[in-house]
Structure 1
């Protein structure tokens, strides 16, 4: 199952993305540009495995697209790419103009039902207070036969606290926020309880398995090589080691 996606998910890829993460705050182009290329490549592999079609000619909605690095990566593969982002500042952060970009809330998407071939979101669900409402909305605007792909950072993984540190969030989100403020003299970009929330691997798997109108095709760790995908099947362990869960659904 999913042979192209498995071949895509290699150890060198994982190591390259892990190294790029350190640049997210200081030199975001060194993080987001390779992440955008990786995202387009991953979605193409998933499409080829699930439907036998490439990204070319496909309509893609990116929920929480953020800085405009992703538009070029999808355009290079011939996709019609539409990002939706609630924060105008995030949309303009890269200094890139993205024609067709939409300002909107992922929990109430401003699109008609069944509009897009692929609806994708990466590292957004942990930043909204109602992530499964957002997931329902993503599935709503997916076309029958299309793919809905949700990827998000797990709270108990090493990057669950985002810029507040690798261990502080294990003590507690509020503790991590206060410690960051003491060290840096200003609040973190991702504020616990306001723009950062505790989202688990188990919760995502429960939603994807129980949602009506779609089949769960695949669940795997976003940044791990394919030989480590087994971690998703092990309760408790997955919360700490999966780091970023991807669920792939095909709409009926």
Structure 2
């Protein structure tokens, strides 16, 4: 038996078995084409061209393995993460603007215990951190003259003060993450870059230390189970210091800001994934579970 494709509008008089054309407007075929495009179209753009070669599987595995040291050896965990972060921001800054990181003025919102300040200083950047928690600022015993205590939702800086504003794993800890994003854009210079990286709630690490699956049952369930198991309350408690932020929330924010003319969303990708898995950001629903940490890169108008 011979099989040949025919356009849907063409009568079949040949006696051959007809397979409907893939150009048909059938909804299932349109959906298939969209998914195929998402899967097989190379991810990334000019803003990511310097980061893509560094986003390897080896890097992803190395960072994942460091998580076991977060509580017991924070110097290892945060030291490696700080080095990776400098490389990330350096590549994104160069890709988005064509400029070098050395000499750039950077604001890190929620910079924590100081490891990042040391790493950025070594790279020649002028680093400032804004951190609301005094305990976090002093945790590593690292003193930074450029540390400022303040809230990310009301940054204590004048407009257009920084070349780069950056925040990592903070958005999910504030009740109004997009107010914080607006504040970061406010203090970014025109032509500068705002990099907003956060943990997606439905991803495997959405519950933070409360577990990999418990938060799927519910945030309060995860907190109570952690407290029962560890005999102490979790540092990150749902509804108080941990909130549900989705990948779709971030992408909608990017569309809104672009429509208002405030900034251009030049890249959106999973922070810890190898480059060949970046396509996951393009697929609704899948990205909520598979993109553990979403990075949004804005260039201010």
Smaller-chain TM-score bracket: over 0.9
Q: Which structure 2 residue ranges, 5 or more long, are not aligned?
A: 1-44
What is the Cα deviation at residue 151 of structure 1? Answer: 0.1
Scaled by the length of structure 2, the TM-score of the pair is: 0.83
Match of 1:83 in 2: 129
2-structure distance, mates of 1:209, 1:9 = 26
1:176 corresponds to 2:222: yes
User: Quick one: which of 79, 88, 98 aligns to 2:144?
Assistant: 98
CA contact (8 A) 1:8 1:45 kept: no
Question: For residue 236 of structure 1, what is the aligned residue in structure 2?
Answer: 285
Superposed CA RMSD: 0.7
Query: Aligned equivalents of 2:100 and 2:75: distance in 1?
Result: 26
46-55 or 239-248, larger mean C-alpha shift: 46-55
Q: Does 1:220 align with 2:289?
A: no
Specify every segment of 5 or more residues in structure 1 that has no aligned partner in the other structure, as ranges: none
C-alpha displacement of 1:3: 1.4
Whole-angstrom CA distance in 2 between matches of 1:9 and 1:155: 23
What CA distance in whole angstroms lies between the structure 2 residues aligned with 1:35 and 1:113?
A: 29
TM-superposed deviation, 1:193: 0.7
Task: Give the aligned partner of residue 200 of structure 1.
Answer: 246
Q: C-alpha displacement at 1:162, in angstroms?
A: 0.3
Shift of 1:150: 0.1
Offset from partner CA, 1:84-115 (integer Å, 9 cap, x none):
00000000111100111000000000001100
Aligned to 1:133: 179
Of residues 151, 161, 167, the one that matches 1:121 is 167
**2:193 maps to which residue?**
147
Could you tell me how far apart the structure 2 residues matched to 1:137 and 1:184 are? 37
Which position in structure 2 is the counterpart of 1:159?
A: 205
Partner SS for 2:196: strand
Moved over 3 A (4+): none
CA distance in 2, matches of 1:198, 1:71: 28
Q: Distance in 2 between matches of 1:100 and 1:30?
A: 23
Partners in 1 of 2:146 and 2:50 — Cα distance? 30
**Greater Cα radius of gyration, structure 1 or 2:** 2
Q: What SS does the corresponding residue of 1:4 show, helix, strand or coil?
A: coil
1:107: which partner in 2?
A: 153
1:27 alignment counterpart: 73
* Residue in 2 that maps onto 1:62: 108
1:194-223 superposed Cα distances (whole Å, 9 cap, x missing partner): 100010000011001211310000000000
